[in-house]
Amino acid sequence: MRRTSATGNAALGTAATAVAAKTTAAGRAVPTSRPQPPRRLPRRGGAGPDGTTAGPGAAKSKAEPLSLEELLAKRKAEEAAANKPVFLTKQQRAELALQKRQEEVELQRARLAEQRKAQM
């Protein structure tokens, strides 16, 4: 089925085929699908539009101090994390070695300078 323009001539070209592709056989327009904007998730924590806070910790008005057991467990976890081996890349190892060597050289120069002052 060919669509005709307002003047009665047969519509030709890409615009006509695009219009024909967007209409049904009965001549009704088919809505084109548009990408939907991403959904916004509600904010976590903080004050809402009415000024109240929502969430699991909203009912607590005062912060409770940690118990002795919790403090010990927290300290133990921090020490365990500090004692874990740290794996460095080759470049990081080279940078650390260079820094260490520079510090050693500075210390050695400072010692030599002190010895020279002591001899004079």
Q: DSSP character for 36? A: P
Distance CA(46)–CA(39), nearest Å, equals: 20
Q: How far is CA 106 from CA 2, 92, 115, in A?
A: 89, 21, 14
pLDDT band of residue 18 (cuts 50, 70, 90) is very low
Place of tokens 């519509």: 11
pLDDT above 70 as % of the chain:
54
Q: What is the pLDDT of residues 49-90, one digit of tens each?
A: 555 555 555 555 677 777 888 999 999 999 998 888 888 899
Res 76: pLDDT: 94
